[in-house]
Chains A and B, each alone.
Chain A
Amino acid sequence: MVTDKDDLTALFADARQDARPRADLTARVLADAARVQPGNIAAPRPGPGWFARMRGAVGGWPGLSGLAVAGVTGLMIGVYATESVDMLLNGQLTELTGGDSAGLMPGIDFLAISFGEG
């Protein structure tokens, strides 16, 4: 065999010196080290608060506004506008209760009797 043991040993020694890193590779490796170093990793941002989560659940500000308007409207109808609603519904409310609004809100009669007697 022409290639003897000493030749291989010399070849291995040459190879050991051969693959030295170039400056740009070293720079890339050090840049990676700086980028992922624990102290340099940005702290996680705190999560959204309960109001933000609720707002998100109903579809953001537009959803929240719609919900508020619907709530207020419902309250107004309940408090002030039984007759107006009945009119808008072409008297169906009156038909349902047999013309007796007290059937819908029996507490009103009770209060009238109490005040009348007082």
Chain B
Amino acid sequence: MVQVDAELDQLEDGALLVLYANGDQGAARVLTARLLPRVLSHAVRVLGDRSEAEDVAQEAMLRLWRAAPGWQGDGAAKPGTWLYRVTANLIVDRLRRSGRAVGLDAVDEPADDRESAEAMLMRRGRMAALDAALARLPERQRQAVVLRHIEGISNPEIAAVLDISVEAVESLTARGKRALAAALAGQKEALGYGDG
């Protein structure tokens, strides 16, 4: 199975989705390994709540599976972009429904069990500070900053995800990054980057 998955891993997302629709469970495993971390990361950073983000990520992936039978293998839409868009909309729904701010305790589980306690605390502190700073940005700006600077996707792709122009994305990310820097100003020591 590992051998088969390694072969599938050479394929693009669209081709894997078509294979999944034709009954290949290995394609689902590879797509999950590839796309779930991105979707979850996007949701965690924008929502600032791990549990809610997991629900959103699971729902977004479920929508991808359901969309698979009608997916055009040679079409222009990329599953990754499509999924970011679905996730962005699910996040907006959640934020609007709850209308809540994110607290500093919205941190997740350690990503690595071998991590030392000190490193874990430092990492948690950084992520809590980042989440708190992100939570102060307007929703659109937050989504754009997370997609550009954390997920690392291109501006045209973000424009497709958020359904806005590339110029608007550039403006949102620039303003968002400035606002983040301002929000995190004075926390150099707390962020643990002062030693370097």
Counting CB contacts under 8 A, is B160 at the interface? Answer: no
Are A10 and B193 in contact, CB atoms less than 8 angstroms apart? Answer: yes
Q: State the interface size on chain A (CB cutoff 8 A).
A: 32
Mask of B19-37 contacts with A, CB within 8 angstroms, 1/0: 0111101001100110011
Q: State the interface size on chain B (CB cutoff 8 A).
A: 48
Q: Which of B21, B36, B44, B66 contacts A18 (CB 8 A)?
A: B44
Mask of B166-185 contacts with A, CB within 8 angstroms, 1/0: 00000000000100111011
| A-B pairs with beta carbons under 8 A, tally | 118
What are 30 A-B contacts defined by CB distance under 8 Å? A2-B185, A3-B187, A3-B188, A4-B181, A7-B184, A8-B181, A11-B191, A11-B193, A12-B149, A14-B123, A15-B45, A15-B150, A17-B111, A18-B123, A19-B45, A21-B37, A22-B109, A26-B33, A26-B36, A29-B36, A29-B58, A29-B62, A30-B28, A30-B32, A32-B61, A33-B61, A33-B65, A36-B66, A37-B21, A39-B22
Which residues in A have some Cβ–Cβ distance to B below 8 Å? Answer: 1-8, 10-12, 14-22, 25-26, 28-30, 32-34, 36-39
